[in-house]
Structure 1
Amino acid sequence: KRIALAHASRVFIVVTFVAFFYASFLGISIAGEDRPYIGFADVPGADLAILAACAVLGAWLGPKVGLPAPQILGPMILSGIAHLTALTDAPPPTLAVNTAQLVMGTVIGCRFAGARPREIARDMALAAAASGLMLVIALATAFAVTSLTGIHLSETFLTFSPGGLPEMSLLALSMNADIAYVATIHIVRITLVIAVAPVVFRFVRPDRNGER
């Protein structure tokens, strides 16, 4: 429970900071006011069917093949294939994107269900300290990558921000950033964490006698 609460606190803090940073310093709204509104009627029926198929099949296949964040990454991969093969070039309707943002925000909030205020305050404080350090490192890395590659800071910072893959991918979609770039780096990060964490855990986990 504490691990889940700590991760929920981290994601909440990171998403909040990213939204504030982009709006205040980069002039980019997470809410997407700068994007043209795309209604369902603006997308041809065949393209809507393809996008819907990518969403449904991707969400079904993602868990079966063991993808991280399968309900996000599965549809993303299928949609990427559909767009790369010119099967469709349609963007998702704005209402669908806004609904996904609403659902994601609700999911983050629901992770605090059942937690006592003292637990939330404690884990929020710890998450703020840890997330603050990681955000400083992420921002420094993003500036370095931007200066070396020319990729806009709005994309590099999302890429290295210590948020979750679903949250950062959805933010990238909201800002018309390169979702494939953002998601790929986060997948690499998750893979490294999964590979390294068990090794580190063996060194820090108490043994049966309570010694480290």
Structure 2
Amino acid sequence: MKSATDITGPLKLAITLTTAFAGGGIFMLLGLPVPWLLGPMIATLIGSNLGKRYYSWPGPLRNTGMIIVGYTIGLSLTAPALKEMAGELPSMLLMTGLLLLFCAGIAVIVSKISGMNYKTILLGSIPGGLTQMIVLAEESDDVNLTVVTVIQVVRLMMIIIGVPLLIFSPLFGHGSGVGAAAPAGVEVTAGWPDLFPNILIYGIACILCAVAGQKVRFPTAYLLGPALITAILQISGLAGPALPALLLNAAQLMIGVFVGLLLDPRKLNKKLLTLSLAIGSGIVLIGGAYLLSLIFAYIDAVSLSTAMLSLAPGGMDQMSLIAHEVGADLPTVAGYQLFRTFFIFFAVPPLFKLIFRRKKKQAAATG
């Protein structure tokens, strides 16, 4: 009888895939948010911690998922979306800056209460998207990936569940704005025949840019490289086909499994305290977004629903779908969500490096 150490790579991969599919299927049946990301992540997290040597997930599979997600992000950068962003740029910059400062303040408080590394708490608190922040945390030094992921996952689930309940509550009056046609890029699924032949050009370009970005140490290269080249090609006139739902789900699974196998609950000190602080900071973050939306609605004369969905620290796709249901201004919501995503992509990594490099030098000088 073979021991766990004798299990071959293909068998480990089969066990990992089976666990991931089971997790995703259970999450779908329960109607939980982002089932093919969180389901495989949690299932493989549990399975690998029960028998670590039975599980494996090659890096190239994770990278493939990242390229697919990057491509879908790039599809959102259409001419109408860019025009909307250009007209609202000062307001977008102000509101995004205030939201990030609010997150940084929350991270300071949580870090002091928990005694955890501020850099770890900050990465967990910034609303840059679960996948993006986890990848950034993975590439950063002195960061506890497990803590970052726990805080991000708790925040994501609270946003996806809490914001719709808040928007549909009497507090918002079910939205008072006038519905608009969905901006290009919000409709993200299509049939397989619609992919060809343009997907071949996009596929090659995305892979080349992802690899090149990694070579020059571009932040989250397998995500940003494809996103940028997709946007450039699309604006140049080459239509980018939307991806079938199956491919999008597969990409989430590839990333979710990779993250699940990276997590180690034994590295999560003060488990109850960490979860409590994650929930508390999530509530405070939603409250802060609501207060900022009041300011935004007053300054730009938009409906409160439009303002809240534009600033809510969730994904553009979920927020846009809710905007459609309540009759909010879809282009405004999509534009603000897209701006914040790319602002965090480009501004946060170099800013982090600058701030923490200075802190490191100061600590060395006083040490």
TM-score, length-scaled by structure 1: 0.67
Shift of 1:78: 0.9
Larger Rg: 2
Equivalence for 2:228: 77
Question: Are 2:214 and 2:222, in contact at CA under 8 Å, matched by a contact in 1?
Answer: yes
Q: Secondary structure at the match of 1:115?
A: helix
CA spacing shift, 1:14–1:45, aligned 2, 3 Å: same
Post-superposition CA distance 1:6-30 (Å, at most 9, x none)? 2112211122122213443347xxx
Residue 88 of structure 1 corresponds to 239
Amino acid at match of 1:38: A
| Deviation sequence 1:129-182 (CA, Å, 0-9, x none) | 44444444344335534554556533432xxx3xxxxxx6xx335666447423
**2:351 pairs with 192, 202, 209, which one?**
192
Q: Give the distance between the partners of 1:105 and 1:138, measured in 2 at CA.
A: 27
Mapped pair 1:10 → 2:151: yes
Select the residue among 140, 146, 157 that pairs with 2:291.
Answer: 140
- Please give the alpha-carbon distance, in whole angstroms, between the structure 2 residues aligned to 1:11 and 1:59: 25
| Structure 1 residue 116 displacement after superposition | 6.1
Determine if the alignment matches structure 1 residue 181 to structure 2 residue 325: no
CA spacing shift, 1:173–1:70, aligned 2, 3 Å: farther
Q: Secondary structure at the match of 2:266?
A: coil
Displacement of 1:45: 1.0
Alignment of 1:148-187 (within 5 A): 148-149=299-300, 150=302, 153-157=308-312, 161=313, 171-173=315-317, 177-178=334-335, 180-187=338-345
CA RMSD of aligned residues (A): 3.6
- Can you give the 5+ residue segments of structure 2 that lack an aligned partner in the other structure? 1-141, 169-185, 321-333
Letter in 2 for 1:74: G
Amino acid at match of 2:276: A
1:38 aligns with 190
Equivalent-residue separation in structure 2 for 1:100 and 1:142 (angstroms): 32
Number of residue-to-residue matches in the alignment = 190
State the TM-score, normalizing by the size of structure 2.
0.43
Deviation at 1:75, TM superposition (A): 0.8
Identical residues among aligned pairs (%) = 14
**Other-structure match for 1:30:** none
Question: Could you say which residue in structure 1 is the equivalent of 2:212?
Answer: 61
How many angstroms apart in 2 are the aligned matches of 1:26 and 1:54? Answer: 40
Q: 1:83 to 1:148 in 2, by over 3 A?
A: farther
2:198 to 24, 39, 47: 47
